[in-house]
């Protein structure tokens, strides 16, 4: 059986997979250390299967009642620090 994945990345094996399709996984209580949960151990809740996208051609268009229309690539969204564009 293939390991559970979130998109193209395998999820942390320390998470408890409740359902695999759609993927729902949770953190074991014994892994909690204080009030901060590391990103890799944060719970996952999905109502639908995780879509696969072609990162090279996918983009997000922002238009309509906005001050400035823009189109952002997948790379734009994943490789830059948050800011006011």
Render pLDDT for 1-41 as a digit per residue (tens, 0 to 9): 345 666 667 889 999 999 988 999 999 888 887 888 888 88
3-state SS, residue 73: strand
Cα–Cα distance between 70 and 85 in angstroms, integer?
9
State pLDDT tens for residues 36-82: 888 888 889 999 988 888 989 999 999 999 999 999 998 888 886 66
CB atoms closer than 10 angstroms to residue 23: 20
CB 32 within 8 A of CB 26: no
- Give me Rg for the CA atoms of the chain: 17
Residues contacting residue 74 through CB under 8 Å, at least 6 positions apart: 53, 55, 56, 58, 59
pLDDT of res. 38:
84
Domain locations along the chain: 1-51, 53-85
């Amino acid at each position: 059986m293939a390991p559970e994945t979130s998109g193209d990345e395998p999820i942390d094996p320390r998470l408890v997979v409740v359902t695999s399709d759609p993927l729902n996984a949770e953190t074991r209580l014994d892994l909690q250390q204080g009030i901060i949960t590391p990103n890799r151990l944060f719970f996952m809740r999905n109502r639908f299967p995780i879509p696969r996208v072609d990162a090279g051609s996918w983009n997000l268009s922002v238009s309509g009642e906005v001050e400035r229309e823009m189109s952002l690539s997948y790379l734009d969204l994943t490789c830059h620090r948050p800011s006011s564009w």
